Copies of this chain bind each other. A is one copy, B any other.
């Protein structure tokens, strides 16, 4: 009955099994057979050659990507409520050596082409103002909204036009793909995306995330940056094995679908209380303090979201039976 965050959920059984399998050999760093298969496995998934690196956190994936895409003296355009702006403790600035996050407003933590154009239009092209070099969006967003392939492509097109590199924070990329039913390539390289943080931890993984470079020329330096950031684990095989286990048989999609379906049940019950369309596995509801207290008294855990609102997040292991009590309780408020 805990709906704090998918980032805390226990792991898929296949992940535990993969760790035990990876324990049979003794290879160091990324010299193991699982790590060696990552490029191919993700290239197959995306339908284009990619370079895939394991890291242990989404923050590291995001920030290694941004460091590859933006020089220290450049700027990274992002939503004003993007995770990189609000919840990564200054990690983007650390990894990029002080690049400036340049924020853009928008409903549901989504950036529209118009909003991007307006932001770009307000920047003088001189040495006194930081010049943007990259755009990062989150898909699904921090408010559980998704960008569809056309929306991503429209932003990608603007990026090309303005000389910006393009990154997607896909902490919940699987949830977006599951919702949209599209090919993962449609949300990424076919839409002009250079790099993707492909989240696994929120989707059944233990501590392995994938950083995907569609522009493969960026990978070599990033291998050095990963080491330099202390993220080259000596027993990296335990990370690679997690990723492969979740890719195997499209477990990543099954997990995301399960979380999304659970969220949909809650959203249906919540109706007009929903502050944002529920398009992935996060539900933001309008609830009074008394209503929140009532839900907690019934054993449901979740975060308050400012005043008069609450966030519920479903996870890969939630099924209809798990969330029905919450849905009922919300409906009964």
B207 lies within 8 A of A238 (CB): yes
Q: Which residue of B lies closest to A239 (CB)?
A: B207
A91 lies within 8 A of B206 (CB): no
How many chain copies? 4
Residues of B within 8 A of A202 (CB): 234
Q: Contacts A90-B98, A98-B98, A128-B87; is A73 near B26 (CB within 8 Å)?
A: no
A93 lies within 8 A of B89 (CB): no
A207 lies within 8 A of B56 (CB): yes
Q: Contacts A87-B128, A97-B72, A130-B89; is A16 near B8 (CB within 8 Å)?
A: no
Q: Which residue of B lies closest to A59 (CB)?
A: B230
Q: Contacts A73-B225, A227-B127; is A56 near B233 (CB within 8 Å)?
A: yes
A89 lies within 8 A of B224 (CB): yes
Q: Which of A123-142 contact B (CB under 8 A)?
A: 127-131
| Closest beta carbon of chain B to A290's beta carbon, Å | 23
Using a Cβ–Cβ cut-off of 8 Å, how many residues does chain A contribute to the interface with B?
70
A98 lies within 8 A of B87 (CB): no
Residues of B within 8 A of A223 (CB): 127
A89 lies within 8 A of B73 (CB): yes
A20: CB under 8 A from chain B? yes
B207 lies within 8 A of A91 (CB): no
B7 lies within 8 A of A25 (CB): no
How far apart sit A231 and B101, CA to CA, in the bound complex (Å)? Answer: 21
A229 lies within 8 A of B94 (CB): yes
A276: CB under 8 A from chain B? no
Q: Which of A269-285 contact B (CB under 8 A)?
A: none
How far apart sit A207 and B223, CA to CA, in the bound complex (Å)? Answer: 19
Residues of B within 8 A of A206 (CB): 19, 235, 238
B8 lies within 8 A of A57 (CB): no
A129 lies within 8 A of B89 (CB): yes
B87 lies within 8 A of A129 (CB): yes
A82: CB under 8 A from chain B? no
A27: CB under 8 A from chain B? yes
One digit per residue, 1 when the CB lies within 8 angstroms of any chain B CB and 0 when it does not, for chain A 1-43 equals 0101101111100001001100111111000000000000000
A4 lies within 8 A of B28 (CB): yes
B238 lies within 8 A of A86 (CB): no
How far apart sit A226 and B289, CA to CA, in the bound complex (Å)? Answer: 34
One digit per residue, 1 when the CB lies within 8 angstroms of any chain B CB and 0 when it does not, for chain A 63-99 equals 1000000011101000000000011111101111111
One digit per residue, 1 when the CB lies within 8 angstroms of any chain B CB and 0 when it does not, for chain A 167-181 equals 000000000000000
16 A–B contacts from the bound complex (CB under 8 Å): A5-B234, A7-B234, A7-B235, A10-B26, A26-B315, A56-B230, A57-B230, A57-B234, A72-B97, A89-B129, A89-B227, A90-B100, A90-B130, A93-B100, A96-B98, A100-B101
